[in-house]
Amino acid sequence: MCSTIGTTRFCLVSLMSPPRRKYAIRLQHIPLPFGFPPKQDSTGLGVKLEQLTWGSWMPHKYKLAVSGCPRNCAEATIKDFGVVCVDSGYELHVGGNGGIKVRVTDLLTKVETEAQVIEYTAAFAQLYREEAHYLERTAPWVERVGLGHIKAKVVEDAANRKALAERFAISQKPAQVDPWKARTEGDLKREFIPIHVTA
Most confident of 71-75, 112-116, 195-199: 112-116
Partner residues linked to 63 by β-bridges: 16
User: What is d(CA 18, CA 40) in angstroms, rounded to the nearest whole number?
Assistant: 27
What are the helix (H) ranges across 88-157?
A: 114-131, 138-145, 147-154
d(CA 41, CA 85): 8
Cα–Cα distance for residue pair 65/167, rounded to 1 Å = 23
DSSP single-letter state for residue 35? S
Q: How confident is the model at residue 75 (pLDDT cuts 50, 70, 90)?
A: very high
Q: How confident is the model at residue 36 (pLDDT cuts 50, 70, 90)?
A: low
Query: How do the domains of the chain map onto residue ranges?
Result: 2-176
Please determine, for residue 21, whether its predicted confidence score (pLDDT) is greater than 50: no
Q: 35 pLDDT exceeds 80?
A: no
Q: Is 82 left (phi over 0), alpha (psi -120 to 50) or beta?
A: beta
Prior bond of 33 cis (ω within 30°): yes
Does pLDDT of 174 surpass 90?
no
User: What pairs with residue 30 in β-bridges?
Assistant: 9
Q: What is the pTM of this model?
A: 0.78
Confidence label for 23 from pLDDT (cuts 50, 70 and 90): very low
Report whether CATH 3.90.1150.10 matches the domain 2-176.
no
Which amino acid would we find at residue 42?
Answer: S
- For residue 33, what are the contacts with CB-CB under 8 A and spacing of at least 6? none
Distance from CA of residue 40 to its chain's centroid?
15
The pLDDT value given to residue 3: 55
- Segment 135-161 shows an average pLDDT of 98
Q: Which of 38-47, 64-73, 82-91 has the lowest mean pLDDT?
A: 38-47
- Identify any residues that bridge with 170 across adjacent strands, giving them in sequence order: none
Q: Is the pLDDT of residue 116 over 80?
A: yes
